[in-house]
């Protein structure tokens, strides 16, 4: 019963934060709600027994991604007028989202095998998880590919955001 | 009874993740600011992450693979948000707006 209460509190926190994030008029306020949503998601992961993943999620999503999003909002929304905009309720999209949820919920509830899984496994020891990650016969190749993807993404991000000459040509103000 | 109120089962977590994904889906399709669209995509990624962790933890024998998959999902998520936000900054620098409805460079343009 206690675990159900903890789950409901966590789930409500994440859902309310997500709804506030997508419905807030001010983008900066939306970013704060996203941070709460990320912390709640990490809490949910911890609740499910994956402590290592929860800490990683907290570092990546609530830390790095949150800061990056805030910086982008600060760079691209100079005044309060552009950061705050009207949000209208779109009934057709709401219907689509509810339809999606209904479809998934229907599928989940109609699969009776899923109801048998009620106990959470013991968390993997960190050493065992790390060894499997770097094992040549395990996930080492996938790990290297993931690292390469991240490196390429970061180089692309830096290349796109750097102040290149094409933009200046288009704006018509040559710096020299 | 599918949803057991004494302890949290896989079905309950999957339903919660579906609800979270739907919220993200609504945000991604209605928001006008590009940063808000990216934030909605992040919410959808959170839902997927919770889904994978739940499947890994509840299904016997799937734990190690689930954890690894979840870790790689985080890497892809971080790469996606880095690329997305840098694109938003680049677009803003070029056309001075990050409103996705005003991004019509390819429409009726040479």
ipTM: 0.87
Ranges A34-38, A118-122, A171-175, most confident: A34-38
Q: A85-89, A161-165, B3-7, B90-94: which has the highest mean pLDDT? A: B90-94
Q: Which helix (H) or strand (E) segment is B60 a member of?
A: none
Using pLDDT thresholds of 50, 70 and 90, give the confidence band for residue A175: very low
Burial category of B81 from C-beta neighbours within 10 Å (exposed 0-12, middle 13-18, buried 19 and up): buried
Contact by Cβ (8 Å): B27, A25 = no
Instruction: Return the CATH fold of A2-123.
Output: 1.20.120
pLDDT band for A104, please (50, 70, 90 cuts): very high
Within 8 A of A120 by CB-CB distance, chain B residues are 57-58
A64/B12 touch (CB, cutoff 8 Å), yes or no? no
User: Band of the pLDDT at A139, cuts 50, 70, 90?
Assistant: confident
Q: Which residues from A are below 8 Å from B94, CB to CB?
A: 167, 170
Count A/B contacts: CB-CB distance under 8 Å: 240
Answer yes or no: do B35 and A105 touch at CB < 8 A.
no
Mean pLDDT score, A54-61: 92
Does residue A140 register a pLDDT over 90? no
Residue of B nearest to A19 (CA): B23
Q: In 3-state terms, what secondary structure has residue B33?
A: strand
B38-97 per-position pLDDT tens digit: 999 999 999 999 999 999 999 888 888 889 899 999 999 999 999 999 988 888 888 877
pLDDT classification of A176: cutoffs 50, 70, 90: very low
pLDDT interval class at A174 (50, 70, 90): very low
CB contacts of A158 in chain B (<8 Å) are 86
Task: Output the CA torsion sign for B86, B18, B16, A88.
Answer: positive
pLDDT for the residue A170: 56
Chain A residues touching residue B63 (CB < 8 angstroms): 121, 124
* The pair of three-digit structure tokens given for residue A167, joined into one six-digit string: 């933009």
Asked if pLDDT for residue B4 goes beyond 70, the answer is: no
CB pair distance less than 8 Å for B71 and A119: no
The partner residue sitting opposite A100, judged by closest CB among B25, B54, B67, is: B25
How far CA B47 is from CA of A157, B22, B38, B86, in Å, comes to 25, 9, 14, 24
Is the pLDDT assigned to residue A32 strictly greater than 60?
Answer: yes
pLDDT of residue A75: 84
**Alpha-carbon torsion, ordered B30, A74, A44, B73, to 10 deg:** 80
Contact B10 A142 (CB under 8 A): no
Full-model pTM: 0.87
Q: Is the per-residue pLDDT at A81 higher than 70? A: no
Decide which of A174 and B70 is more confident.
B70
Query: A105, B15: Cβ pair inside 8 Å?
Result: yes
Q: Which residues lie across from B33 on neighbouring strands?
A: B99
Q: Which residues of B touch A11 (CB under 8 A)?
A: 16
pLDDT at A42: 95
- Mean pLDDT, chain A, rounded, equals 84
DSSP B102: G
Binning pLDDT at 50, 70 and 90, where does residue B3 land? Answer: low
Give chain A positions within 8 Å (CB) of B58: 117-121
Quote the tokens at residue A122: 């013991």
For residue B95, what pLDDT is reported? 80
Q: Which of B7, B30, B94 sits opposite A170 (nearest CB)?
A: B94
What is the sign, positive or negative, of the torsion defined by CA atoms of A7, B41, A84, A67? positive
Q: How far is B45 from chain A (nearest CA, A)?
A: 10
């Amino acid at each position: 019963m206690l675990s159900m209460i903890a789950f409901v509190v966590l789930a409500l926190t994440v859902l309310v934060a997500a709804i506030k994030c997508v419905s807030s008029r001010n983008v900066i306020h939306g970013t704060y709600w996203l941070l709460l949503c990320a912390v709640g998601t990490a809490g949910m992961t911890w609740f499910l027994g994956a402590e290592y993943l929860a800490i990683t999620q907290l570092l990546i999503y609530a830390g790095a991604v949150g800061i990056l999003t805030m910086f982008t909002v600060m760079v691209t929304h100079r005044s309060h007028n552009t950061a705050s905009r009207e949000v209208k309720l779109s009934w057709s999209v709401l219907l689509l989202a509810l339809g999606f949820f209904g479809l998934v919920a229907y599928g989940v509830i109609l699969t009776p095998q899923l109801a048998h899984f009620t106990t959470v496994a013991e968390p993997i020891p960190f050493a065992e998880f790390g060894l499997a990650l770097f094992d040549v016969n395990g996930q080492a190749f996938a790990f290297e590919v993931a690292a390469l993807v991240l490196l390429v993404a970061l180089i692309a991000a830096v290349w796109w955001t750097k102040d290149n000459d094409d933009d200046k040509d288009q704006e018509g103000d040559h710096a020299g | 009874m599918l949803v057991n109120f004494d302890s949290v089962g896989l079905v309950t977590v999957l339903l919660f993740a579906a609800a979270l994904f739907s919220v993200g889906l609504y945000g991604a399709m209605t928001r006008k600011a590009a940063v808000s669209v990216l934030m909605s995509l992040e919410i959808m990624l959170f839902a997927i992450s919770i889904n994978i962790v739940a499947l890994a933890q509840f299904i016997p024998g799937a734990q190690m693979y689930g954890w690894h998959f979840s870790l790689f999902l985080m890497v892809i998520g971080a790469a996606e948000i880095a690329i997305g936000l840098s694109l938003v900054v680049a677009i803003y620098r070029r056309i001075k707006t990050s409103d996705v409805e005003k991004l019509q460079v390819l429409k009726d343009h040479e």
